[in-house]
């Protein structure tokens, strides 16, 4: 799966089936999209307050729960003030 291979050792944003967003450095992956993320942080968006960053550490995410893996543009990400963002959390996957 060379599609994800290019993201290894980069900061990635993973959107899970339940709508959660996890940002971390991708350390490993496999064919079933199981992922290993180092120093990951959950970004919790809410409509009232700013984004809450919850540090998680070293995580292995089972591929069944992964919806999307996005490559984070470090420069762009540092310019965004997440405390100002108000947004509804992403909805969960419904089949």
Partner 1 sequence: MKLRQWNRIQFASVVNRCSPHSASVVHFPLLFARSSTQLSHSKVDSFLVSHRTSQARTQRKAVKMLMFSFFKTLTDQVITVELKNDLSITGTLKSVDQFLNIRLDGISVEDPERHPHMMAVKNCFIRGSVVRYVRMPTRSVDVNLLEDATRREAKEGKK
Which two tokens mark 77?
């990400």
CA dihedral 54, 56, 61, 64 (to 10 degrees): -30
Is residue 58 within the footprint of partner 1 (CB under 8 A)? Answer: no
For residue 71, the minimal CB distance to partner 1 (Å) is 5
For residue 48, the minimal CB distance to partner 1 (Å) is 15
72 neighbors 82 (Cβ within 8 angstroms): no
| String marking each residue 13-52 x if it binds partner 1 according to CB under 8 A | x-x-xxxxx----------xx--------xxxx-------
In Å, the largest CA–CA distance within the chain is: 40
Let me know the angle formed at the C-alpha of 62 by 57 and 68, rounded to the nearest 5 degrees.
90
For residue 64, the minimal CB distance to partner 1 (Å) is 5
Binding site for partner 1 (CB under 8 A): 1-4, 7, 13, 15, 17-21, 32-33, 42-45, 54, 56, 62-73, 76-77, 80, 85, 87-95
């Amino acid at each position: 799966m060379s599609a994800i291979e290019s993201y290894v050792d980069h900061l990635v944003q993973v959107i899970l089936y339940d709508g959660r967003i996890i940002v971390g450095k991708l350390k490993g992956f496999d064919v079933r999209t199981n992922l290993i993320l180092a120093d990951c942080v959950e970004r919790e968006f809410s409509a009232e307050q700013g984004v809450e960053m919850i540090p998680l550490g070293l995580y292995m995410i089972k591929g069944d729960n992964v919806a999307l893996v996005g490559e984070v543009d470090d420069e762009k990400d540092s310019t965004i003030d997440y405390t100002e963002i108000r947004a509804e959390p992403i909805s969960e996957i419904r089949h």
